[in-house]
Structure 1
Amino acid sequence: MKSRATYNYWTLYRQLPVQIRHAALKQYRLWLTDPRHPSIQFKKIGLYWSARVTADYRALGITEAHTVIWFWIGNHHEYGPLLRGR
């Protein structure tokens, strides 16, 4: 599966603590080789696809023409309301 990230994603990514950025990169590389790996928990939630970065952080994307477009990365405090449209 292909992917790309939006400007907003990279803006949020750069604001993350360095250890979370490293974890995100590690999980992304794993996702590229095996999107179904259990540690990623890559799943569809409503209109979005969710991927686990750490126990407390997730990334969200949408699919378009066999490409995941990552648009958000952040912690669970922000993740829940985002999924609920708040």
Structure 2
Amino acid sequence: MISKTTDKFWKYYDELPVEIKKHAKKAFNCFLKDPYHPSLHFKRIHSTRPIFSVRISKHYRAVGILEDNHIVWFWIGSHSEYDKLIKSIRIS
């Protein structure tokens, strides 16, 4: 799977604690090898739109849009912010 990011993703990434950035890099490398590795919990989070999430750590997630064999990551952050994002995505 081909993985890309948006500028907004990097803005969110830059705000993460250093330790979480390390987890994000590790998760990204794992994703490149096997997007469906059990530790990533890669899953669809919207019933009609191709929006997926991946686990970065116990308390952090990343979200992207999957089209064909390409995923564009547009958000990364804490699980509490992720819950808010999911609610806003499901409403729109």
* Match status 1:53 vs 2:76: no
Amino acid at match of 2:79: H
Amino acid at match of 2:76: I
The one-character-per-residue Cα deviations of 1:34-72 (angstroms, maximum 9, x if unpaired) are 111111000111031100000000000001242100000
Q: After the TM superposition, which residues 2-81 of structure 1 pair with which residues of structure 2 at under 5 Å, given as runs?
A: 2-46=2-46, 47=49, 48-81=51-84
- Tell me how large the CA RMSD over aligned residues is: 1.1
Amino acid at match of 2:5: A
Gaps of 5+ in 2: none
Gaps of 5+ in 1: none
TM-score, normalised with respect to structure 1: 0.95
**Cα distance in 1 between the residues matched to 2:68 and 2:6:** 16
The one-character-per-residue Cα deviations of 1:1-60 (angstroms, maximum 9, x if unpaired) are 001000000010011000000100000000100111111000111031100000000000
TM-score, normalised with respect to structure 2: 0.89
Question: Deviation above 3 Å: which 4+ runs of structure 1?
Answer: none
Q: Percent identity?
A: 43
Which one has the bigger helix percentage?
Answer: 2
